[in-house]
Structure 1
Amino acid sequence: MDSVRTAPAPAPVRLASGGPARDAWPLDGAIAHLNHGSYGAVPTEVVRHQQELRRQGDLSPVAWFPRLPELIAAARREVAPFVGARAEDTVFVPNASAAATIVFNALHLDPGDEILVSDHGYGAVTMGARRLARRFGARVRAVTVPLAADADEVVERFRAELTDAVRLVVVDQITSPTARLLPTARITELAHERGARVLVDGAHAPGLVEHAATGAGGDWWFGNLHKWPCAPRGAALLVTEAADRDELWPLIDSWGAEESYPERFDTQGTIDATSYLASPLAIDFVEREYGWARTRETMTALADHGAAVIGAALQPFVDAPVATDVGMPVVSMRLLRLPDGLGRDRRDADELRLRLLDLAGIESAFTSIGGVGYLRLSVHLYTEQRDFDAFVDRAVPQILAFAEERRGG
């Protein structure tokens, strides 16, 4: 499929330390890594730092664990400004879904109350909202947002659904399945006018959106550090200035339970908190080696180029435009339509992800929207032209074969 490679290939990113970005991540060279958005990737320098932190804890547990709350507090003082927040408003949590659960656990609803979500929401968070509703005899309703809707249309869709019964709005700053922005600050303003509170799911926002927490609006905001900031897995932030934030509690009660917010979150017994402690180095690594503003620009160029290359290879086999308009795109991810028969539901999309990893050595992500399947392409500084070429050469034939199987050919 060499004929599709017509766009100029961007040069591999080189870091300030002199080497190619790809060499700074301990990624398997036999695999094409085009799914940073799901699980992230941790630079070797940060991996080694986390390993050293664990070693310190193993050398003297009695010296390590009693001092751990102080270390966690120091780390959040370093990390909070990265999302535009104050340390006193910020706590570490294991991941975005944990943050949502912490907020849901603190809320009380009455029978007949409503929680408003969008049909672009992250499945696990929406499941948590449904569980909250069941506890109190409330209900969850979803706002339908067209894939290509611009900011004004999104706001009007929420306005139409904000009844007096709505007590909570849960909305994504960047949608996971559809890789688009939502105007959460404007939605928050609307919700507050109607007496509803807003939980902003900013799982993908740190690193992609400057000052992600403070620009999002919302009564509560959370975001992952293990995605675009490249921190170790198990590191996320919950940020709130809400007057009732002392009703927020860690998922596990520990000896810090009698402390106030945020200090009670710094004490979590014998958890492995090294992902929290290594997060400042991950953020600093990208800034020191390339700069965060420049990183966002480069990821945009890489994502555009990869979408053009892969889209050209798929277009002859798709009866609609492969390049998909998502209304408010983000810098690092692109949505590409798949041939008919693929991605009919979430299970089908996940099956394709594993099939391409096993048979083609491609790390990728797929999603299903209204019964239509899409590739969600995502990149970081380590992404190179060879990854896009590998997808065209190794993944596209598998995609076409799988589509043929599904169509019964």
Structure 2
Amino acid sequence: MREHFLLDPTVHFLNHGSFGACPKPVFEALQQWQLAMERNPVEFLGRRSAALLRTARERLAAHLGAQADDLVFVPNATTGVNTVAQSLALQPGDEILTTDHEYGACDATWHHVCQRTGAVYRRVEIPLPFEASEFADRLMAAVTPRTRLIFVSHLTSTTALVFPLAALCAAARERGIATLVDGAHAPGQIDLHLDTLGADFYTGNCHKWLCAPKGAAFLHVRPERQREVHAPVVSWGYVAGEDGAGSTGGHTGFDAYVGSTLLERRLQWQGTRDIAAWLSVPAALDFLAANHWPAHRSASHQRALALQARVLARNGLQPIAHGTDFGQMVPIPVRSSDPAGLRAWLFDQHRIEVPVTQHAGQVFVRVSVQAYTLDSELQALENALAAAGV
């Protein structure tokens, strides 16, 4: 599969998880959409964009087990988290309950929102080694009468754990508590059926494991919660009004780009921007289907676990979870007192692109194995870690 990607052949690229990698045919689709936009930007953005985005959302919704009317495109999962966080009418003392494994940028989002509103961002420790069967009960045991929302990752960034969310979402719903899931790493890496999962809000990236271009992500909102969500940038959809009526500010043709559903009108048009990455999502789904991606995904998962096992057998450390708790990313515990130095050494001396993360005093080399990953790249990392004595 390596020939289908644009990756630098001189780099051992084991960090698909950070920004993804776009296959050549999908990148070509992106460029074709950009060219179509530049040929007549007024027609493309002003008259065609809503219908084009609708078609792309329908394809994505079918893949995610969701309804197109409950989805809207956003540039990245961080934007999705911010959109929800800044939409909630939080009061002083309200609690946002989360885990101690969340992505730093989203932690920063909640700290900012809580500082502004007087709400409280409260972390629950999810100890290592991880036991999936205890996850939902541990979080729900921390719920108080002030808990307004539970915010959790589907796959954690630092520790690469897959959190089991169905039971948590169901338990929270029974208590009248909303759930927001940061699914940045989930689409394409694990099977998703958002309608069944039951999260009130779910945001995920398409540019990571779905292999879409950078800047393609989505926010999914259950129908009964959609009136709570507001755009971070107010634009023409608000002028048109929630029922599509109202002042047009001297312009016509709003529905051609603001759309007709509530989520579309509020979130779809936030000023002029390049929508080509969103329109390329169907091309990414076509690429995965044409190349039998479930088989590649399963094989990548097994190869990642095998590498983890070999390194741990050498360095005498233990995994932080069972193999079923990981996807195509695995955290390999290492003995290092200088994570930043180890990451830099791996790249500068061995041309290995891989993140070195930390959690609860432990250091991990977080390896991503994608269909294009070569066995020689995994061996290069294994050899380098042995040479470093970690």
Is TM more than 0.5 here?
yes
- 1:7 counterpart residue number: none
**Alpha-carbon distance between aligned partners in 2 of 1:50 and 1:359, rounded to the nearest angstrom:** 34
- 1:384 counterpart residue number: 374
**Alpha-carbon distance between aligned partners in 2 of 1:323 and 1:330, rounded to the nearest angstrom:** 11
Query: What SS does structure 2 have at the residue aligned with 1:214?
Result: helix
Specify which of 50, 54, 57 is matched with residue 76 of structure 1. 57
Is 1:338 matched up with 2:347? no
- 2:98 counterpart residue number: 117
Q: Is the 8 A contact 1:37 1:228 kept in 2?
A: yes
Distance 1:307 1:373, change over 3 A: same
- 2:317 counterpart residue number: 321
**Alpha-carbon distance between aligned partners in 1 of 2:342 and 2:385, rounded to the nearest angstrom:** 10
Q: Is the 8 A contact 2:98 2:151 kept in 1?
A: yes
- 1:14 counterpart residue number: none
- 1:302 counterpart residue number: 303
Q: Is the 8 A contact 1:295 1:381 kept in 2?
A: yes
Distance 1:37 1:215, change over 3 A: farther
How many angstroms does 1:385 deviate by? 0.7
Specify which of 94, 102, 106 is matched with residue 75 of structure 2. 94
Q: Is the 8 A contact 2:111 2:121 kept in 1?
A: yes
**Alpha-carbon distance between aligned partners in 1 of 2:344 and 2:374, rounded to the nearest angstrom:** 22
How many angstroms does 1:321 deviate by? 1.2
Is 1:32 matched up with 2:25? no
Q: Specify the code of the residue in structure 1 equivalent to 2:301.
A: T
- 2:256 counterpart residue number: none
Specify which of 345, 350, 363 is matched with residue 360 of structure 1. 350
Q: Specify the code of the residue in structure 2 equivalent to 1:362.
A: I
Distance 1:187 1:57, change over 3 A: same
How many angstroms does 1:95 deviate by? 0.4
Query: What SS does structure 1 have at the residue aligned with 2:195?
Result: coil
- 1:194 counterpart residue number: 175
Q: Specify the code of the residue in structure 1 equivalent to 2:360.
A: G
Is 1:279 matched up with 2:281? yes
Query: What SS does structure 2 have at the residue aligned with 1:253?
Result: coil
**Alpha-carbon distance between aligned partners in 2 of 1:156 and 1:123, rounded to the nearest angstrom:** 24
Q: Is the 8 A contact 2:132 2:325 kept in 1?
A: no
- 2:268 counterpart residue number: 266
Specify which of 12, 21, 27 is matched with residue 47 of structure 1. 27
**Alpha-carbon distance between aligned partners in 2 of 1:74 and 1:131, rounded to the nearest angstrom:** 36
Output one character per residue of 1:247-291: Cα deviation in whole Å (capped at 9) or x when no partner: 32333222233354222233233211111011111111011112x
**Alpha-carbon distance between aligned partners in 2 of 1:328 and 1:79, rounded to the nearest angstrom:** 26
**Alpha-carbon distance between aligned partners in 1 of 2:22 and 2:319, rounded to the nearest angstrom:** 29
Query: What SS does structure 2 have at the residue aligned with 1:81?
Result: helix
Q: Specify the code of the residue in structure 2 equivalent to 1:202.
A: G
| TM-score (normalizing by structure 1) | 0.84
Q: Is the 8 A contact 1:32 1:362 kept in 2?
A: yes
How many angstroms does 1:322 deviate by? 5.1
Long gaps (5+) in structure 2? 243-260
Is 1:64 matched up with 2:44? yes
**Alpha-carbon distance between aligned partners in 2 of 1:193 and 1:146, rounded to the nearest angstrom:** 25
- 2:363 counterpart residue number: 373
Long gaps (5+) in structure 1? 1-20, 404-409
Query: What SS does structure 1 have at the residue aligned with 2:236?
Result: coil
Query: What SS does structure 2 have at the residue aligned with 1:168?
Result: strand
- 2:188 counterpart residue number: 207
How many angstroms does 1:394 deviate by? 4.5
Distance 1:380 1:327, change over 3 A: closer
How many angstroms does 1:355 deviate by? 4.0
Distance 1:354 1:73, change over 3 A: farther
